[in-house]
């Protein structure tokens, strides 16, 4: 019984290893070309396995794409958690810099997401699934903003924040005449400006909502 359990655990580990190998290969292929130009056959070739082997883990290209994104989204969620800490202090600049650094060190993640975003052949179902996969990350930031902006629709605020940061990433990926480090330094400056705007907005609103206790006798019931 013990040996059976041991072998079962080994099989599960091997299965997980093979699954991650497929996702690694998919990430490489999705980075190189638009979503509609990627095929299971091309991913299988990159992974060094047969297309049939991929179908044992993923029913289609779409599910493989989202498995790839979900894995990276979990890593990014951890980065966001570390940036905001216990959530009791406004640390928008720290959040922005960590977010930016993640995509600097995970360039392939940003590239395949950018390829997906500009592909006009993507169906509404695909877009819905990507949004659903992104939901935990948005929820994380929404809950953080909610602590400082309890009376506002923080979903709008969080989406505005991500739109601004991702816009900077997209706009300055290629900058003629600049080195890679100069480009990223420029992005950090832009991200700092974005952070300053959101930090100031949240601080002003939070300050307005605090009751004015000036001149109030603390012993007065």
Inter-axis angle of helices 61-84 and 40-47, nearest 10: 70
Q: pTM for this structure?
A: 0.78
CA angle 134, 161, 85 (to 5 degrees): 75
Distance of CA 16 to the CA centre of its chain: 22
Averaged pLDDT for residues 169-189 = 84
Answer yes or no: is pLDDT of 119 > 90: no
Note the pLDDT of residue 59. Answer: 92
Euclidean distance between CA atoms 212 and 216, whole angstroms:
9
Q: How far is CA 92 from CA 61, 133, 144, 169, in A?
A: 36, 23, 10, 17
Segment 56-72 shows an average pLDDT of 90
pLDDT in tens, 127-157: 787 888 888 888 999 999 999 988 888 889 9
Q: Which one is predicted more confidently, 186 or 171?
A: 186
Mapped onto helix, strand or coil, the DSSP state of residue 30 is: helix
Superfamily of domain 60-209: Tetracycline Repressor, domain 2 (1.10.357.10)
Residue-wise pLDDT tens digits, 99-113:
999 988 888 888 888
Q: Are 185 and 97 in contact (CB under 8 A)?
A: no
């Amino acid at each position: 019984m013990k040996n059976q359990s041991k072998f079962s655990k080994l099989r599960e580990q091997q299965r997980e290893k093979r699954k991650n190998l497929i996702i690694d290969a998919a990430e490489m292929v999705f980075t190189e070309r638009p979503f509609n130009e990627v095929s299971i056959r091309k991913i299988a070739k990159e992974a060094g396995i047969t297309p049939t082997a991929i179908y044992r883990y993923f029913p289609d290209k779409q599910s493989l794409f989202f498995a790839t994104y979900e894995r990276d989204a979990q890593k990014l969620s951890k980065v966001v958690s570390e940036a905001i800490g216990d959530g009791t202090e406004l640390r928008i600049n720290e959040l922005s810099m960590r977010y930016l650094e993640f995509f600097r060190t995970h360039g392939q993640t940003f590239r395949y997401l950018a390829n997906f975003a500009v592909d006009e052949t993507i169906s509404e179902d695909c877009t819905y699934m990507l949004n659903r996969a992104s939901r935990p990350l948005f929820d994380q930031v929404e809950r953080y903003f909610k602590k400082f902006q309890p009376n506002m629709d923080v979903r709008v605020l969080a989406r505005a924040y991500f739109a601004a940061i991702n816009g900077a990433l997209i706009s300055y990926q290629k900058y003629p005449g600049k080195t890679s480090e100069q480009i990223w330094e420029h992005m950090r400056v832009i991200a700092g400006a974005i952070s300053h705007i959101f930090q100031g907005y949240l601080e002003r609103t939070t300050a307005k909502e605090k009751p004015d206790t000036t001149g109030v006798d603390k012993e007065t019931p």
